[in-house]
Homo-oligomer: A and B are copies of this chain.
Amino acid sequence: MRLLARKTVSQQTYKAQIYVTLRPSVLDPAGTAVASGLQQQGYTGVEAVRIGKYIQLTLTTDTEASAREQVDRMCHQLLANPVIENYSFELQQLATTVGG
């Protein structure tokens, strides 16, 4: 009888919530238009409207550190433009799948 050395790989699924905002020094014409539209509709106390992106995704990987590192890289490469935008994100673990 042979013993097989088997490594158990467990995969975790995470939900990432990513917030992409314009850097404070960058003008936001869409936000200014929305602020002025709201003020014209009677919301006179409204100011400083800034419009960003809210991206949700799920990511399956082996560790939380790896998930965090991947989401950070995705933001930097594709989801945000680091020249004019900032980003932040939250991770939430959804499920664990244990494979052989």
Q: Which secondary structure characterizes the binding site on chain A?
A: strand
A57 contacts the other chain (Cβ, under 8 Å)? yes
Measured as residues with beta carbon below 8 angstroms from the partner, the interface class of chain A is 20 to 34
Chain B residue with the shortest CB-CB distance to A11: B45
Instruction: Using A53-B53, A54-B54 as known contacts, say yes or no to A59 and B45 having CB atoms under 8 A apart.
Output: yes
**CB closest chain-B residue, reference A16:** B46
A1 to chain B, nearest CB (A): 37
Q: Does A52 contact B (CB under 8 A)?
A: yes
Inter-subunit contact A57/B52 (CB<8 Å): no
CB nearest to A52 among chain B residues: B54
Residues of A whose CB lies within 8 Å of any CB of B are 19-21, 31, 34-35, 37-38, 41, 43, 45-61, 70, 74, 77-79
